[in-house]
Structure 1
């Protein structure tokens, strides 16, 4: 599950280990930086940002996807830092991720489905403590019926994981691992990897849990973008190309795997450079154009979006006058 390192709201790290681990600790040979897409901005940072906006300084998979989906959405989240309401689906994903992470604290023989399910109430309590905004999800459910169904759905997702992987045979090298790398161009990439497995032979597998359903085959490449992003970071950090990228879809019971090669990672790097240049240009000109899609129906920012008759807040950063020859912003070309 990909989370944002630029944003405190919506990060799984709230119920994860909450620690920062050097990537260099991964089996002494795999990864190197600090840890867990944990927020790299503290609550205090966000409070300061509300007063003094700052231009983007790094790129994570979630924010890269935001810009590709809609440049204005990227602006609302990264620069304006507009609040968003928690959703039941995303919060359930955060809860399930925390349970699967904590399960590996137990000895291998005790990593059973009943034990995993028993972790859910405690992790839900912890989530409510660290992210009080999720309490409002069930504010209109005084009898607790909807909450009970929601927790039952979380149990089903946890149970399904045991049909896809055997945790008694796994000893992850890292869980909720924060990775960060600066490319030669100066672009800083960062994110959180759900799990890193390292074979005795040194081969690396990057694993990500998804609580939704697997995409149709024609959309599989988009789903793998996040994983290739992580693979690129690991490669640039340690000159190690992960042997396998694995997406575990708990919503449908599917496992999607991909074995990357250097050419894949070089293509992703070129794409990210192009993307970052477009973000830099939009930041300097203030030209963040909305890109309407069917996903707009789930956006929290319709009241501030011109596509829905809204007006964005005043742009909080300096703006330079457009120069002749400037390209239209927010229009990404093919890979």
Structure 2
């Protein structure tokens, strides 16, 4: 789940900081012999530290704006919850829990009935979400909340026009996956749903509460899915048969059948991206990149593009090598 309005609240920086949520499941195995723990101790260090892994959302952050990546991963600056991202989190929780019921009971009314309870659980886990509807006027706040819950219900109901849950038995839901590449780079993330056919073919499914992108932007939308496919391939030596994006905002389903060449290209792209992140981490040089998405950024006050000053860089900066030292390290011609 990872557009600007769908997924940040679910994955946050935890998937990049070295741990899934406590109790999250994981794929075990891999060509490198790495064993992925199925649970993580509660509580994680918040002290600034160099990044040690890459997830689809954080890879997207760096490609969008390196400074945004720094703010989220290294500085860990707080961000206000948004209605859109939180609605996405709620809808994902409902669709995950619906599969706890027997197939014949997976109906739209039952799914809608799960929304209030999942909203209560979400607020209990993240008390700051109560700020979303904290208007001084209690009546106005109640009306806003009711409209927001109604929007979530419509998204859930639309899903039933796109897939039939009575015919699905997911092998995994909200699956944490992690793979360490031969290069040493660790990739990790959370897959919404994994379906496995009786013949063993794997389908990776991701729910989006926004609208499907225009065809010219479809490749960018598929980046996250190819990322997951690469992780599964490296772990299980199985290339997923199908990648499927379900857009609840517009009622569209985008599918793609990856091949080995696709995933090898994604791996090369991620390695180049990780090298750029490593250089920025060591130098402290995180360039802002102004785009139309800046309007949704919480960090304009500390962004040079908007007249702000970033907080002091919390990591040690490696001094640049002299030309002679660099040439010596590279070796003779």
Under TM normalisation by the shorter chain, which class is it? 0.7 to 0.9
Quick check: 1:7–1:41 contact (8 Å CA) kept in 2? no
Q: Which residue of 2 aligns with 1:100?
A: 95
Report SS of the residue matched to 1:195: strand
Residues 146-295 of structure 1 mapped to structure 2, 5 A cutoff: 146-295=144-293
Q: Which residue of 1 aligns with 2:111?
A: 116
Give ranges in structure 1 of 5+ residues lacking alignment: 26-31, 326-335
1:33 is aligned to 2:31: no
Report SS of the residue matched to 1:247: strand
Note the C-alpha offset of 1:213.
Answer: 0.1
Q: Quick one: which of 128, 136, 139 aligns to 1:133?
A: 128
Note the C-alpha offset of 1:35.
Answer: 5.7
Give ranges in structure 2 of 5+ residues lacking alignment: 30-34, 324-333
Quick check: 2:28–2:235 contact (8 Å CA) kept in 1? no
CA distance in structure 2 between the partners assigned to 1:245 and 1:41 by the alignment:
31
Q: Which residue of 2 aligns with 1:332?
A: none
Q: Quick one: which of 4, 10, 13 aligns to 1:7?
A: 13
CA distance in structure 1 between the partners assigned to 2:304 and 2:41 by the alignment:
29
CA distance in structure 1 between the partners assigned to 2:37 and 2:219 by the alignment:
29
Quick check: 2:192–2:205 contact (8 Å CA) kept in 1? yes
User: How many residues are aligned here?
Assistant: 307
Q: Which residue of 2 aligns with 1:74?
A: 69
With over 3 angstroms needed to count, the CA separation of the structure-2 counterparts of 1:35 and 1:249, relative to structure 1, is: farther
Q: Quick one: which of 20, 24, 29 aligns to 1:20?
A: 24
Deviations, residues 61-109 of structure 1 (Å, cap 9, x unaligned) = 0000000000000000000000000000000000000000000000000
Report SS of the residue matched to 2:138: coil
Report SS of the residue matched to 1:23: coil
RMSD: 2.2
Quick check: 2:179–2:234 contact (8 Å CA) kept in 1? yes
Q: Which runs of 4+ in 1 moved over 4 A?
A: 3-6
Q: Which residue of 2 aligns with 1:58?
A: 53
Quick check: 2:22–2:41 contact (8 Å CA) kept in 1? no
Q: Which residue of 2 aligns with 1:329?
A: none
CA distance in structure 2 between the partners assigned to 1:112 and 1:324 by the alignment:
66
CA distance in structure 1 between the partners assigned to 2:199 and 2:162 by the alignment:
23
Deviations, residues 216-238 of structure 1 (Å, cap 9, x unaligned) = 00000000000000000000001
User: Which of 1 and 2 has greater Rg?
Assistant: 2
Q: Which residue of 1 aligns with 2:326?
A: none
CA distance in structure 1 between the partners assigned to 2:201 and 2:218 by the alignment:
24
Q: Which residue of 1 aligns with 2:329?
A: none
Q: Quick one: which of 138, 142, 147 aligns to 1:142?
A: 138
Note the C-alpha offset of 1:18.
Answer: 5.9
TM-score for both structures, normalised by structure 1: 0.87
Residues 286-325 of structure 1 mapped to structure 2, 5 A cutoff: 286-323=284-321
With over 3 angstroms needed to count, the CA separation of the structure-2 counterparts of 1:66 and 1:306, relative to structure 1, is: same
Report SS of the residue matched to 2:277: helix
CA distance in structure 2 between the partners assigned to 1:271 and 1:282 by the alignment:
17
Report SS of the residue matched to 1:185: coil
Deviations, residues 281-326 of structure 1 (Å, cap 9, x unaligned) = 000000000000010011000001001110000000000122357x
Note the C-alpha offset of 1:6.
Answer: 6.3
CA distance in structure 2 between the partners assigned to 1:301 and 1:148 by the alignment:
29
Quick check: 1:284–1:318 contact (8 Å CA) kept in 2? yes
TM-score for both structures, normalised by structure 2: 0.88
